[in-house]
C-alpha cells in the first residue's frame, strides 16, 4: 500500500471511483448490493450515483427488470474523467481512504 498516495486522495472522489468500479465489476449491481459492498447507507450510494458521478462525465444507466421501479441494476457506460485502469491498480489505497473492505 502506498501511504503517500492515501494521504493525498480525496475521500469524496474516492467514493465516486469506488462506486464506479463496483458498478463495473459486481454482477447486477443494484442499491442493496452496493450498500452491502461498501457498508454505506442507501442515501450515500444514491447521492454518489445521481449527483457525484455525472459531474465527472461518468455515465451510469439503470437497467429496469421487473415491474417495480427499483427492480433492476446499474450498468456502467463510460468512466468519464476517471481512469478505470488507475482505479483498479489503486483499489487498495482507495478502500483504505474510505475504510472499506471489499469481499474477494
Per residue in 43-87, pLDDT (tens digit) is 999 999 999 999 999 999 999 987 776 789 999 999 999 999 999
Report which secondary-structure segment, H or E, holds 63.
Answer: strand 59-64
* pLDDT recorded at residue 65: 85
pTM: 0.91
C-alpha 27/C-alpha 4 separation (Å) is 33
Q: What is the pLDDT of residues 3-50, one digit of tens each?
A: 777 778 999 999 999 999 999 999 999 999 999 999 999 999 999 999
Amino acid at each position: 500500500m502506498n501511504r503517500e498516495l492515501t494521504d493525498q486522495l480525496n475521500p469524496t472522489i474516492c467514493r465516486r471511483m469506488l462506486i464506479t468500479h463496483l458498478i463495473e465489476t459486481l454482477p447486477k449491481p443494484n442499491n442493496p448490493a452496493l450498500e452491502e459492498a461498501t457498508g454505506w447507507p442507501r442515501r450515500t450510494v444514491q447521492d454518489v450515483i445521481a449527483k457525484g458521478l455525472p459531474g465527472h462525465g461518468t455515465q451510469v444507466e439503470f437497467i429496469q427488470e421487473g415491474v417495480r421501479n427499483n427492480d433492476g441494476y446499474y450498468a456502467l457506460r463510460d468512466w468519464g474523467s476517471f481512469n478505470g485502469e488507475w482505479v483498479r491498480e489503486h483499489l487498495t489505497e482507495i478502500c483504505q481512504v474510505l475504510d472499506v473492505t471489499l469481499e474477494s
